[in-house]
Amino acid sequence: MPDRHAAVASGRLSSREREKEFAALTDDEARRIEAVYAQIFGAD
The model's pLDDT over 7-29, given as tens digits with 9 standing for 90+, comes to 556 788 888 888 899 999 999 99
pTM for the model: 0.66
| Residue 18, number of CB atoms within 10 A of its CB | 15
| Residue count (the chain) | 44
Closest C-alpha among 6, 7, 11 to residue 40: 11
Contact (Cβ atoms closer than 8 angstroms) between residue 21 and residue 12: no
Higher pLDDT, 25 or 4: 25
Give me the residue spans of the domains in the chain. Answer: 3-41
Whether residue 43 has pLDDT greater than 90:
no
